[in-house]
Structure formats: structure tokens, C-alpha cells
Amino acid sequence: DTAVSQTPKYLVTQMGNDKSIKCEQNLGHDTMYWYKQDSKKFLKIMFSYNNKELIINETVPNRFSPKSPDKAHLNLHINSLELGDSAVYFCASSHGGQGGRNTGELFFGEGSRLTVL
Amino acid sequence: KNEVEQSPQNLTAQEGEFITINCSYSVGISALHWLQQHPGGGIVSLFMLSSGKKKHGRLIATINIQEKHSSLHITASHPRDSAVYICAVRPYTGNQFYFGTGTSLTVIP
């Protein structure tokens, strides 16, 4: 069973379109993340949800909107796609924690490679 | 300035060589993670450390909390070890992870 699964794995679309990437985890984690990986392989946090509540919202264009229907799912919707949105998007999950408590590993999905033409 | 610095950025080694990748961080952490990403592939967690040393097969990870430094060692390197290795830390507070810029390792047969 895949622990963190994201779909689709590949997405090729035209500028101006709207697209969604879905993510599901079956690990019972309470925290999920969306990361954007640039061409230099650097992972940049976009959003994080803890128990369906948005807790991290980095400087990301309003065209990106996360949705968490339950704590096992975190979807990413992107409106009016631009060329610069082309990247690999990774979903991840972990147990959230507070102050000094080692709360477990970070599990990643396989990534969704978005190409905007 | 990034909270997590890795070195080297790129590394080429001959098969069989002993490899070390370094990670330094600037925040108080509850855990440090070493991640591996093969070309075109997903990201997998190799180790999670909060102190001392861990070993898994030919991979060894160490951490020195006082010096805010960790190393990932690969013994008897093999071409299949060719990948990007990423160091990530989890600060004491919050749910954020901070990532290094990755070390791209190529092992030549």
C-alpha cells in the first residue's frame, strides 16, 4: 500500500488553464504539506495543514488554493496557470508536534510533474 | 540565508569510495532527516535523528546537537547510490521543516 499517493504523476497543460493535484495519505498522520521543487531540486514549502486546519501559508500566489476535506487528504488547485508554475509538486505528511517532541518521519508522495506550455 | 546548509553541492566518486555529505543548521531542532531522491524519482526518508548515530546497510548518519551538524556517510559506494541527498530539520516549535539545497552524488563504475 502506498503511504502517500498523489495524482496525477504527470500533468501537461496550456497557460491559463485550471488544474488540480490530489494527495492522500493512509498513515494516520495529522499534518500534510505541499512543496514545490524547483529545477535545482530545492524544496520550498507552500502550505501545511494540521487536522484540516491551515497552519502554514507561505508567500504563494492566490492562484494556488489548497483544500483539505479531511486529515487524510490535501488537494492543490491552481487557477490561471503560468509558465513559471512548471515544477514538480510534492505532497508530504508527518505527525505534527509541539516543543522538543520528536514526532516521526516525513513521508513524501512520488511527486506531480507539472508542465505549462 | 538558509537555515540549513549542505556541502558539497555536487560530488562525483568512483565506485567503492567512502563518501561523506555534511549538513549544518542554525536553529534548535527536534529532529534531523536525511532524504534521498533518485533522478526523476520520488523522495524517500533514509534516516531521522535526534542524537548520536544510526546505521542502515552501507549508510551511516551522525549528528552533533551541540555543534548543529550532521553527516551522512556511504561506505563502498555503488552507482545505484547516485541520487540527490537532502538534509531537513524540524525546529522545536511549529510544524515547518527546513531543507538544505541538496547534494547531487554521482558514483562512476
pLDDT digits (tens, 9 = 90+) for A70-82: 989 999 999 999 9
Q: Supply A21's cell numbers.
A: 493535484
* pLDDT above 50 for B66: yes
CA dist A107 and A25 (Å) reads 9
Report the chain A residue with the minimal C-alpha distance to residue B10: A40
Contact A24, A32 (CB under 8 A): no
Mutation site, B35, B43, B46, interface A, largest A CB count within 10 A: B43
Tell me the DSSP string of B38-87: -TT--EEEEEEESSEEEEETTEEEEEETTTTEEEEEESS--GGG-EEEEE
How buried is A7 (Cβ within 10 angstroms: 0-12 exposed, 13-18 middle, 19+ buried)? middle
Among the ranges given (A82-86, B24-28, B67-71, B88-92), the one the predictor scored with the smallest mean pLDDT: B88-92
- Mean pLDDT over B48-59 rounds to 95
**B104 contacts chain A (CB < 8 A):** yes
SS3 content of chain B, % helix, strand, coil (to 5): 5, 60, 35
Report the chain A residue with the minimal C-alpha distance to residue B97: A45
**A106 contacts chain B (CB < 8 A):** yes
Question: What burial letters (b/e) apply to A54-74, b meaning 16+ CB within 10 Å?
Answer: eebeeebeeebebebeebbbb
CA dist A41 and A105 (Å) reads 20
* pLDDT above 70 for B1: no
A111 neighbourhood in chain B, CB within 8 Å: 42-43
Q: A100, B30: Cβ pair inside 8 Å?
A: yes
Residue A64, helix vs strand vs coil = strand
Q: B95, A50: Cβ pair inside 8 Å?
A: yes
**Number of Cβ pairs < 8 A linking chain A and chain B:** 70
Q: How far is A83 from chain B (nearest CA, A)?
A: 20
Q: A106, B102: Cβ pair inside 8 Å?
A: no
Residue A1, pLDDT score? 65
Q: How far is A17 from chain B (nearest CA, A)?
A: 25
**A117 contacts chain B (CB < 8 A):** no
* Residues in chain A, total: 117
**B14 contacts chain A (CB < 8 A):** no
Using one digit for the tens of pLDDT, what is the confidence trace for B73-86? Answer: 999 999 999 999 99
* Cα angle B14, B47, B87; round to 5: 70
